[in-house]
Each structure stands twice: as C-alpha cells, then as structure tokens.
Amino acid sequence: MWIYLVKTWLIEIPILFLFLRHKDRFINILWLGMLISASTWTFLMYYWYSFGGNIFLLEGIVALVESLWVRSLWKTSWLYSLVIGFTCNAVSFGLGWLEWV
Amino acid sequence: MKIKRLIFLSLLLANVIRCAWADVIPYDRRSVSYCFRLANINQYPKYVFIAYYPFPTPNYAIIKSGECVHFYHLSRPVICAIAKNHFREDSLRAYQQARNQSIRDKLQRYFESNPNLIRSDVKISAVSTLSKSNPTKSIEDVLTVKKLSGSTLQIDYDNVVYRYDDGTTEKKPYTEQDMRPSPSLKPKASSSKASVVGEGWLVAGGLSIVGLLSALFMRNRKR
C-alpha cells in the first residue's frame, strides 16, 4: 500500500512545484510537499479502510487541510492555497480512480 | 460558533451518507458476474418461463432450460410463466423491438395486466460489485419451481454456485430464502483491512504533522 503514497508524491509534488516555484526553492517544496501528503494520506487511508464513508467528501477534507498547510507555510492567499490543494488532490485522485497510475 | 457547529455536523452527516454509485465501480471494489438459473423448468413442458424487467426500460427474456440469465444489475426481474397455447412470441418481440413508444408501452401492459400470465413473488437482485480482496469471480443463483398451478407460481432459491479466481467452484444450499449463503473462501488476508492499514500509518502521519509544525515554527521565527 505504501507504493500509493509514493505515487501520490510523484503526482502532487510536481503540481506544488508548478504553483510555488517563484516562492521557494525546489528542495523545500520537495520535502514539505512530502510531509504534507504523508500527513493527510495516511490518515485518509486509515479512516477509509477502517470506517469507510464518502470518499469524495474525505478527499475534499484532505484538499482543505493541504490548502491550510500551503497557506501557513508559504503565506499564499486563501484562494491560491485552495486552488493548489484542490488541484493536487483532484489530479491524484482522478488518475488513481481511472487506474492510470 | 453556531455556524461552525452546523458545518461540522453537516460534514459528519455527509460522510455517513453514501454516494449513489449507479454504474460507477466504487473505489476498492471490483465487478462480479451474476446470473440466475431455473433448474427444473423442463418438468413443465406446457409452460414458457419469462423474466420480465420493468426497469430501466421494460424488457423481457425467455428463460431456457439450463441457461443462466444475466441482466442489468439495477433491474429487478419478475419471473413469470404462461401456458404455451396462450403465448405469442411474435407479438411480444414486435413490442420489444418497436421504436414507437406507444407500442413499447404495450410490452409493459402485457406483463402487468395479462390474465394468462402467472407471476412469481420471488425477489431477484443482482450482485454487481465486491471488495477488491474478495476472490469470488461469479455468483450463480439456482432456483427451482416448487408449484405451478392455476394462478400460482412458487419459485424458491435452491443453491448458489460461487466461482473463484483460482478456478475452483463451490455450491452452497440456501437455508433461508432471503439470505444468500456466504462463500467459504474469505477475502485474502494480505489485503484485508486489518493488515492493509495498521496503526503504523497513524504514527507516520503523526510524525509528518510534527515535521510540518516544526517547519512552520522555524519559518515564523526567521521572519
């Protein structure tokens, strides 16, 4: 299952870099991005496999939490943070859903 | 404060309510083949057995001896029987193939109001998905005609045949009519919930949060 976290990193970190490349160095985006994904993905998987629930809503909450981290760490506006959070999660969830990754 | 509570309550309720999946295969599930078979219809040579599908578009299929009937998983087929001397397949087929809606409506009327048609009460519902870890490849319900006389058609579930990914087959008898016996082959242990998601994940997630908070603290101190 851990391979899915690696796949999430491979999708989300390049998207983070695209949005934040003017705000920070690549290495910082890389390790902070890894921590952000790991902090949400592990809890999401634990909850989903233990209790089930509406996966779209859970993904939405994950996107909100990630947006909050982006805003706190890079001092971006709320709108920009939400765009980043939701883009990352929509792309990674969408590709996973379609079984393309 | 009230608004925050309302949002929290809404999120909680929304998570409990599952999505209407329709034809989408939900995450962590896979499709499974389902069909039903009428085992003893050759004991009633004077009758034709028909599966009528009222939903989504009225349709029907003639049930042949030994043939397993597949159908759209959201349909709820009604099994009917009709004496061969009252059965006109040509007109029924014409209703089925008609493009004109008013003619197609005759198909529905045929099955809902034909006095010669004997309807059974047996409830058939397809299984369309199972969890990804479930080794079942197909499910076949075997039903038998218990009574067919006058206006009574009694059909009971007899057994279920499970076919597994490894090529083996298992036949289990029904002990209760409205409860399908469970397959003996259980989901693979390697992908069961307990082994897939351990508490180690929460530790990893917690450590990541600690790392993020530390990074946040350091960044705010620098500024």
Residue B199 lies in a domain: no
Residue B180 lies in a domain: yes
Confirm or reject contact between B173 and chain A (CB < 8 A): no
Residue B34 lies in a domain: yes
Task: Tell me the sheet residues that pair with B81.
Answer: B49, B118
Of B26, B196, B212, the CB nearest to A69: B212
> Which has more pLDDT, A56 or B4?
A56
User: How many interface pairs between A and B have CB atoms less than 8 angstroms apart?
Assistant: 65
Confidence band, pLDDT 50/70/90 cuts, at residue A48: confident
Cβ contacts (< 8 Å) between A46 and chain B: which residues? 197, 201-202, 205
- Name the burial class of residue B78, with classes exposed (0-12), middle (13-18) and buried (19+) by CB atoms within 10 angstroms of its CB: buried
Could you give the number of structural domains in chain B? 1
CA distance A5 to chain B (A): 11
Of B209, B211, B216, the CB nearest to A72: B216
- Tally of residues, chain B: 223
Q: Is the dihedral of CA B186, B190, B196, B199 positive or negative?
A: positive
Of A39, A50, A97, the CB nearest to B205: A39
- Give the chain A residue whose CA is nearest to the CA of B11: A57
Residue B213 lies in a domain: no
Q: What are the φ/ψ torsions at residue A19 (nearest 5 degrees)?
A: -80, -30
Residue B200 lies in a domain: no
Check B197 against A49: CB less than 8 A apart: yes
Token representation of residue B167: 């090529």
Residue B3: predicted pLDDT: 62
- Tally of residues, chain A: 101
Q: Please give the Cα distance from B147 to B123 (Å, whole number).
A: 16
Residue B191: predicted pLDDT: 47
The tokens 């999660």 sit on which residue? A89
CA distance A50 to chain B (A): 7
Q: List A residues 80-99 in contact with B (Cβ-Cβ < 8 A).
A: 97
Q: Which of B65, B62, B50 is nearest to B111 (CA)?
A: B50
Up-side HSE of residue B53: CA atoms within 13 Å toward CB?
Answer: 19
- Angstrom CA distances, B139 to A60, B51, B182, stand at 36, 18, 11
Confirm or reject contact between B221 and chain A (CB < 8 A): no
DSSP string for residues in B61-114: EEEPTTPPBP--TT---EEEEEEGGG--HHHHHHHHH-SSHHHHHHHHHHHHH-
Residue A69 has pLDDT above 60, yes or no: yes
Check B201 against A73: CB less than 8 A apart: no
Question: Cα B108 from chain centroid?
Answer: 23
Residue B86 lies in a domain: yes
Residue B144 lies in a domain: yes
Looking at residue B117, its amino acid is: L
Low-confidence ranges of chain B (pLDDT < 50): 18-22, 190-192, 194-195
| β B169-173/B129-131 pair status | unpaired
Residue B146 lies in a domain: yes
Check A58 against B14: CB less than 8 A apart: no
Cβ contacts (< 8 Å) between A57 and chain B: which residues? 11, 14-15
Q: What is the pLDDT of residues B189-198, one digit of tens each?
A: 544 454 455 6
Domain residues for the domain of B76 are 23-191
Residue A38: predicted pLDDT: 93
Of B18, B197, B209, the CB nearest to A50: B197
Residue A60: predicted pLDDT: 92
The tokens 């859903």 sit on which residue? A97
Helix axes A2-20, A55-74, angle to 10 degrees: 50
